[in-house]
């Protein structure tokens, strides 16, 4: 697992980051649900806003805003392709 | 004369209900799906002297039964088997919307894709080649704007051709890995013994491979009910279930 070292989790991204999904470390219906919502391998995700307590966080994925809890986003792995867009 | 039943499927916020209202006007009634707190809207309209009953399915991103909405929409397509299903897609986010369309294509042959919000998309500089999409997916694709009543005539003409067998569809079906395809073939041949061609066998085989136990129970239940309804000369005969 040499490649895994380089991957960061979506939960570690900061506001404005653009992230490309490489893998979902989630199984079962939750995985299915995330795939249906557009969290698929290769998809670009932009971190939009954080809620006051930092959880959940709103993301933009394939043209729609979706909020994820830390439990979910910490199991989505990929690379940050661009830092803060602002 | 029998009315054609048409299901309307689509993601949330794609203008499905706007299209539903445009087509049926005031000839509609709403209620809940039996036993579910999910709104069921049904309406009727006439086109070229034929009657149509339109059923507005709940807006979903998928049909894998993660929620009651998805279950209701899936069961309607599989068990009630409408004469045609119109999948309404949002022209401004086709990528997300095609997920549902591909799932419906695995379930039935009688599908029309209806790309809505086409004027919104044009404003954003999005151009959609519906002929190419139609060739690749093997089914009719119509561009409309339900709000501005654009393309509705073409949608109705296509719908009429489809339910009257003037259009033959060849829906695009995902080809999976060899291992899965072999398993599908094996399961399909067994399913044919149980259900003949009542249900789409390829789709069922895929769901069984996915371990959808709830669906197996529902199939048993549904199949038993169907058998019990058999009557000869109005005398019901009991069939062993």
pLDDT of residue B231: 47
Domain of B33, in residue numbers: 4-163
Q: Cβ of A64 and B64 within 8 Å? A: no
pLDDT of residue B241: 42
Nearest CB to B95: which of A32, A36, A62? Answer: A62
pLDDT of residue A5: 56
pLDDT tens per residue, range B186-203: 999 988 888 877 889 999
Residue B168 lies in a domain: no
Specify whether B53 is located in the same domain as B151: yes
Q: Any idea what the CATH number is for the domain that residue B54 is in? A: 3.40.50.300
Would you place residue A25 in the very low, low, confident or very high pLDDT band (cuts 50, 70, 90)?
very high
Specify whether B38 is located in the same domain as B129: yes
Specify whether B39 is located in the same domain as B150: yes
Proportion of chain A above pLDDT 70, given as a percent? 90
pLDDT tens per residue, range B118-153: 999 999 999 999 999 999 999 999 999 998 999 999
Q: Which residue of B has its CA nearest to A30?
A: B66
Does residue A29 belong to the interface with chain B, where contact is any CB pair within 8 Å? yes
Please report residues of A whose CB lies closer than 8 A to that of B13: none
Number of domains in chain B: 2
Residue B212 lies in a domain: yes
Please report residues of B whose CB lies closer than 8 A to that of A38: 95-96
Interface probe, candidates B13, B59, B61, chain A, greatest A C-beta count within 10 A? B61
Whole-angstrom Cα distance, residue A75 to residue A72? 6
pLDDT tens per residue, range A27-73: 888 898 899 889 999 999 999 988 888 889 999 998 889 999 999 99
pLDDT at B78 over 60: yes
pLDDT at A20 over 60: yes
Tell whether domain A3-82 is in CATH 2.102.10.10.
no
Please report residues of A whose CB lies closer than 8 A to that of B95: 38, 62-63
By CB atoms closer than 10 A (0-12, 13-18, 19+), residue B166 is: exposed
Torsion of CA B160, B162, B167, B172, to 10 degrees: 150
pLDDT of residue A2: 47
Q: What are phi and psi of B29, to 5 degrees?
A: -140, 150
Nearest CB to B93: which of A29, A37, A63? Answer: A63
pLDDT higher at B182 or B30? B182
Q: Cβ of A36 and B95 within 8 Å? A: no
Specify whether B92 is located in the same domain as B183: no
pTM, to two decimals: 0.84
What is the DSSP secondary-structure string of B25-90? Answer: TT-EEEEE-TTSSSEEEEEEEEETTEEEEEEEPPP-S--S-SSHHHHHHHHIIIII--SEEEEEEE
pLDDT of residue A63: 82
pLDDT of residue A57: 94
Specify whether B148 is located in the same domain as B198: no
Specify whether B114 is located in the same domain as B197: no
Does residue A36 belong to the interface with chain B, where contact is any CB pair within 8 Å? yes
pLDDT at A1 over 60: no
Residue B36 lies in a domain: yes
Domain ranges of chain A: 3-82
pLDDT tens per residue, range B199-223: 899 999 999 998 888 888 888 887 7
Specify whether B66 is located in the same domain as B98: yes
Specify whether B34 is located in the same domain as B66: yes
Specify whether B155 is located in the same domain as B191: no
Specify whether B192 is located in the same domain as B85: no
Specify whether B155 is located in the same domain as B188: no
Q: Highest-confidence range of A74-83, B22-31, B160-169, by mean pLDDT?
A: B160-169
Does residue B62 belong to the interface with chain A, where contact is any CB pair within 8 Å? yes
pLDDT tens per residue, range B6-61: 999 999 989 998 999 999 987 777 777 777 767 788 999 999 999 999 999 999 99
Give residue B85's region: left, alpha or beta (phi > 0; psi -120 to 50): beta
Whole-angstrom Cα distance, residue B190 to residue B201? 9
């Amino acid at each position: 697992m040499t490649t895994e070292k380089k991957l960061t989790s979506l939960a570690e991204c900061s506001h404005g980051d653009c992230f490309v999904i490489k893998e979902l470390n989630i199984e079962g219906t939750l995985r299915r649900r995330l795939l249906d919502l557009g969290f698929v391998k290769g998809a670009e995700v932009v971190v939009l806003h954080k809620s006051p307590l930092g959880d959940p966080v709103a993301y933009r994925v394939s043209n729609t805003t979706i909020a994820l809890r830390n439990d979910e986003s910490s199991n989505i792995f990929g690379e940050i392709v661009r830092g803060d867009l602002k | 004369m029998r009315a054609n039943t048409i299901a309307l499927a689509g993601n949330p916020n794609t203008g499905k209900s706007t299209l539903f209202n445009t087509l049926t006007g005031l000839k509609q009634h709403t209620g809940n799906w039996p036993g579910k707190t999910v709104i069921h809207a049904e309406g009727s309209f006439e086109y070229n002297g034929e009657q149509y009953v339109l059923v507005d399915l709940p807006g979903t991103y998928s049909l894998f039964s993660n929620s009651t909405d998805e279950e209701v929409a899936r069961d309607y397509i599989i068990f009630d088997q409408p004469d045609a299903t119109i999948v309404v897609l949002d022209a401004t986010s086709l990528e997300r919307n095609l997920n549902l369309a591909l799932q419906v294509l695995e379930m039935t042959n009688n599908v029309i894709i209806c790309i809505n919000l086409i004027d919104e998309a044009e404003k954003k500089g999005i151009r959609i080649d519906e002929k190419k999409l139609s060739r690749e997916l093997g089914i009719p694709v119509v561009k409309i704007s339900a709000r501005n009543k654009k393309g509705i005539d073409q949608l109705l003409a296509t719908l009429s051709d489809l339910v009257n067998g003037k259009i033959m569809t060849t829906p695009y079906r995902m080809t999976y890995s060899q291992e899965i395809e072999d398993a599908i073939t094996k399961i399909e041949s067994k399913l044919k013994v149980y259900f003949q061609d009542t249900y789409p066998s390829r789709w069922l085989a895929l769901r069984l491979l996915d371990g959808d136990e709830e669906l197996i129970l529902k199939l048993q239940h549904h199949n038993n009910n169907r058998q019990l309804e058999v009557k000869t000369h109005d005398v019901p005969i009991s069939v062993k279930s």
